[in-house]
Chain A
Amino acid sequence: MGAEGQHIQYLISGITLGSIYALIALALVVTFNITGIFNLAIGEFVTIGTLSAVTLRSAGCPDVPAFVLAVLIAGVIAATMERAAIYPARKASILTLIIITIGVAIALRGAALLIWGTHPYPLPPFVDTAPIALWGAVIIPQMLFVLGLAVVAVMLLFAFFDLTYAGKAVRAAMINRNAARLVGINPARLSLLAFVFSGMLAALAGIFIAPITTATYDMGFMLGLKGFVAAILGGVTNVKGAIVGGLLLGIIEAFAIGMLSSGMKDGIAMMVMIIVLLICPTGIMGLRIYNKRTGSWMVWLRQKVGTGSR
């Protein structure tokens, strides 16, 4: 494989993994905008969805119903989480809520460990076709499914936001949470739906990527975190930014792993996140030329970060 082919290979695997990050970031951003809560348990829904699908398949359930059922299971758990842990604490401080989502995350991870153990489970690709060679790079057919899922999910989401009344109302609620009440949306129900939606989307992302990676009880942890990195990269309040951020992170990671070392894979994403948080906390989509006098930048940063999140 020539150097050029290798670069194309990096790009393709970057985009594949990036699509997954983008989907998880999307789930996070939508929930964050509606509820003001970063769901740090998002990765566990990836795990639960995927491992449920594995279990259902091995119990003899055909592929598609197994996947649908697995996504629904993730949705039910997300609903339970929202009702049992988030809703009762909705008036608590943001840090309390963050710690709650972390608590839910580790409880779910522990539960996954108890149910499925530490060993990896394979999930076969959706179709059994030979890899495709393209410009010296190899495309695994499953990658196309991942890309397809990302495109379809994004299109459906945008169609929902742009074309339906409910979507427009949700969008209004995302911009101004008080506006939700004005257009007749019950904020409690919206919060529930947001969590269910994000849990189901995360599960779907896991089921699609698992044939390429593998399914383990802790697969969601890093995927979830990378979803956060993608969301931050794109500017946490920005739906389009989440997609761009996810793809960008995937590509950065693929090239960094290919050219540097695979061991720092997770380190690179964290480094990207820290750099973005420190230099431009509004993310790449929030970048603006800011030519105010000395000191203004700090004030600006403080306004953008933290205070506006709830």
Chain B
Amino acid sequence: MLRVNGLTKQFGGLTALCGVGFVAQPGQILALIGPNGAGKTTVFNLITGVLQADQGEILLANKRIDGLRTFEVAALGISRTFQHLELFTTLSVAENVMVGAWPRNRASFLRCLFRRPGMMKKDQELYNKALGLLAQVGLKGKADWPAKSLTFGQQRLLEIARALAGEPQVLLLDEPAAGLNHAESADLAAFLRSLAERGLTLILVEHDMDTVMGVADQIVVLNFGTVIAGGSPSEVQQDPEVIAAYLGKEDDEVC
């Protein structure tokens, strides 16, 4: 369970987030939605320790994780994908996933230097595990391709596979459906559902309302850094404030 309480973050004089709070339960998909600049990605950056909150707390299984550094947060079982793809472009598809498994398969510099027996065997197992994950996301047979040779949609899937390789409790997905066609989005939604059924906590930032409404158990709506509504998809859809915030808005978030 991931709980966020009263998160506040200012950039210079600009308040990006103000008292944002929500609870994400295992086995559920929580969607963070809101217009451009509402602070959705900032929430992810605060949870993962890329940024530090000015106020508020973040708890994973009732233990505070705010103040930890990014790699420590990841080691505790929170993985993420990026809105702007951040693949390891110089590595192969499988290698990307293998790096993602780092939190459970940390390597030591000295052991690698002297190539301790058993190390490469373990790495082979890791490779096989990566193949399994790639098959799950639909990238079967592409394991040894360079990551950059994948299509945009496939790269998004690879990011998810990489995030899953760390065997996280919580998975943060930043616009996973962006750039996917309709069929791919539907496949993705089904896949995310199956992940939730396995007990993962999923939080996604998404623009594609069809995907969000179809897949989310709980929706948190942000506008100008504050939570303006929350609840089930049907509740949120009828909320007058949400409708006002979204009126006439239909473009992609700018960098």
Contact = CB atoms under 8 A, between A and B. Distances in A.
Contacts of A299: 51-52
B171 to A, nearest CB: 24
B67 interface: yes
Interface residues of B, number: 5
Interface stretch (A77-85, A111-119, A211-219, A290-298): A290-298
A293 B67 CA distance: 8
Contacts of B69: 295
Place the interface of chain A in its size category.
Answer: under 10
Nearest to B10: A292
Contacts of B54: 292-293
Contacts of A293: 52, 54, 67
Interface string A294-309: 1110010000000000
A292 B54 CA distance: 8
Classify the secondary structure of A's interface with B: loop
Contacts of A296: 52
Interface string B52-69: 101000000000000101
User: Taking each of B51, B52, B67, B69, which has the highest tally of chain A beta carbons within 10 Å of its own beta carbon?
Assistant: B52
Nearest to A298: B69
Contacts of B52: 292-296, 299
Nearest to B55: A293
Nearest to B69: A295
A295 B46 CA distance: 12
B51 A294 contact: no
A219 to B, nearest CB: 43
Contacts of A294: 52, 67
Interface in A279-299: 292-296, 299
Nearest to A294: B67
A299 B49 CA distance: 10
Nearest to A295: B52
A140 B126 CA distance: 74
Nearest to A297: B52
A156 B107 CA distance: 59
Chain B CB count within 10 A is highest, among A292, A293, A294, for A293
Interface of A: 292-296, 299
13 contacts: A292-B52, A292-B54, A293-B52, A293-B54, A293-B67, A294-B52, A294-B67, A295-B52, A295-B67, A295-B69, A296-B52, A299-B51, A299-B52
Interface of B: 51-52, 54, 67, 69
Given A299-B51, A299-B52, 11 more contacts: A292-B52, A292-B54, A293-B52, A293-B54, A293-B67, A294-B52, A294-B67, A295-B52, A295-B67, A295-B69, A296-B52
